[in-house]
Amino acid sequence: MTILILGGTAEARQLAAALVADGLDVISSLAGRVNSPSLPPGRVRVGGFGGADGLAEYLRGHQVSSVVDATHPFAATISVNALQAANRTSTPLVRLERPGWHGHPRSGSWTWVANGAAARAVAAAASTPFLTTGRQSLPDFHPWADRDVLVRLVDPPTAPLPQRWILIMSRGPYSYAGERQILTEHAIDVLITKDSGGTHTMAKLDAASDLGIPVVIIARPERPQVPHLETVAETIAWCRSDDDLGFVGRSIP
Ligand SMILES: NC(=O)c1ccc[n+]([C@@H]2O[C@H](COP(=O)([O-])OP(=O)(O)OC[C@H]3O[C@@H](n4cnc5c(N)ncnc54)[C@H](OP(=O)(O)O)[C@@H]3O)[C@@H](O)[C@H]2O)c1
């Protein structure tokens, strides 16, 4: 029994650790975007598969018995590929995705938008925005070379940032006090983020809301319909279960 975890998230690492500790054969797959990723226990492979065809080939070649798509909520392409590859090879597939921030008590006061360009449009009047939307979204905001944008990234940007922008390189989790200090020190007048969900990066939302700073939040992309679990514990139970009703039809305990 070989379980392929499509990873790149803390949940994927936790899942791999738990399954390896259980004695299961686990391969974690990483896209290879991050310079020095925290590697999960068990086997690890790095790099794209070459689309759905390549992934299907990989599943066959490595006799993968089930796939957990534990990729980030904003990584949409790999999830479509995973569904297609699972379909073609009749491999059970489940999606592990942490809940988003829609349920946050203040979420009704935030402006929800579909993408980076829409976020820039609704925050057009801001003079000192705080951007925590990730490295891949930065081109959407490059027209803001005329203002003092504070950007926080985990990895260095792949292209030079506009001269006026200030870069903070750090990795969460972040505290409420620390986030409040950043918002105040830089006189931030809008927080632009994306609905990553979870608690590691949530404090900025509370801090901004308490300070009366508007929050613009990019909603998660559309996803293929795949059985969906929200916690690592539920996914461990699914992986241990031998209740196999066919590829994505395998029941959720
Ligand atoms: N997007 C985010 O905001 C974000 C944030 C934190 C972490 N991540 C992690 O970073 C990775 C890339 O994100 P993305 O938004 O670029 O994804 P994406 O747009 O869904 O994927 C683009 C391509 O990257 C390859 N890929 C993505 N995830 C992979 C994985 N786990 N293993 C092997 N190949 C993978 C696939 O290439 P092939 O078609 O060649 O197979 C895929 O078609 C994901 O694993 C995700 O979990 C993303």
Query: Cα–Cα distance between 68 and 5 in angstroms, integer?
Result: 5
Nearest residue (by CA) to ligand 1, atom 9, is 8
Residues near ligand 1 (Cβ within 6 A): 6-9, 29-31, 33, 48-51, 54-55, 71-72, 74-78, 81, 134, 136
pTM score: 0.92
Q: Which carries the bigger pLDDT value, residue 8 or residue 244? A: 8
170 CB-near residues (< 8 Å, 6+ apart): 152, 154
- For residue 251, what is the DSSP state? P
List the structure tokens of 77: 């392409």
The pLDDT value recorded for residue 37 is 83
Question: Residue 167 pairs with which residues in a beta bridge?
Answer: 151
Cα 167 to middle of ligand 1, angstroms:
24
CA atoms within 13 A on the CB side of 73: 18
Is the pLDDT at 250 greater than 70, yes or no?
no
66 contacts 90 by C-beta, under 8 angstroms: no
Cα 193 to middle of ligand 1, angstroms:
19
pLDDT in tens, 124-150: 999 999 999 999 999 999 999 999 999
Cα 45 to middle of ligand 1, angstroms:
13
Cα 209 to middle of ligand 1, angstroms:
31
66 CB-near residues (< 8 Å, 6+ apart): 1, 3, 4, 91, 92, 93, 94, 239, 250
Cα 11 to middle of ligand 1, angstroms:
15
* 152-166 average pLDDT score: 95
150 contacts 28 by C-beta, under 8 angstroms: no
Residue 144 backbone phi and psi in degrees, to 5 = -90, 30
Which amino acid does the sequence have at 28? S
SS3 state of residue 113: strand
SS3 state of residue 166: strand
Nearest residue (by CA) to ligand 1, atom 15, is 75
Q: Which runs of consecutive H residues, i.e. helices, occur in the chain?
A: 10-21, 51-61, 77-89, 116-122, 176-185, 203-211, 232-240
Mutate to test the pocket of ligand 1, among 45, 53, 77, 137 (most ligand atoms within 8 A of CB): 77
pLDDT-derived band at 251 (thresholds 50, 70, 90) equals: very low
Nearest residue (by CA) to ligand 1, atom 14, is 75
